[in-house]
Amino acid sequence: MLRIYDWIEKISKWFLISSLAVMATINFVNVLSRNIFKASFSFTEELTIGLFVFNTFVAAAIAARKGGHLGLTIIYDRLSESNQRKLNLLIGIMSAGLFALLSYHGYFMVASQSRYGQMSPALGVPQWVFGSAIPIGALLCVLGFLVGGIEAFKQKGGE
């Protein structure tokens, strides 16, 4: 499972790089267009927001594996190394459960958007394309928290 997740993480990082480049480029072109031609592209805001939501979940999944999310360590620091490892696994499982629940409900949101044929206003793209960031991103977070929890549990000493 860890090797598969390494592959998923590499693809995720390339997605982040690509989408951030696209976001920066279209916003730069839009600013130039607005200032030079006094006209802006209406789709840039919609596309940027959609990509931003995807990026947020993808980056959160990467941070989940590395233990990069905020936490209160006042109790954790007082535990023995063995109990810290157990707590890391428990945190990973509980966080994965929360994101699994988010993915579950996100799926029904996307299904509803698809069923009612909702379209994005500027691009005219089905709204479920942007909405799918929630269930897909939450699943990536599930994997990130599980893999991170397992890795933290297996870690010995100061490795």
pLDDT(114) > 70: yes
pLDDT(115) > 70: yes
pLDDT category, 103, cuts 50, 70, 90? very high
pLDDT category, 158, cuts 50, 70, 90? low
Q: How far apart are CA 95 and CA 99, in angstroms?
A: 6
Token pair of 116, please? 């009612």
29 close to 46: Cβ distance less than 8 angstroms: no
pLDDT category, 34, cuts 50, 70, 90? very high
pLDDT(159) > 60: no
Token pair of 63, please? 């941070």
CA angle 16, 10, 91 (to 5 degrees): 90
- For residue 91, count other CB atoms closer than 10 A to its CB: 18
pLDDT(112) > 90: yes
Average pLDDT, the chain: 92
Residue 70 has a pLDDT of 74
- Show me where the domains of the chain are located: 2-154
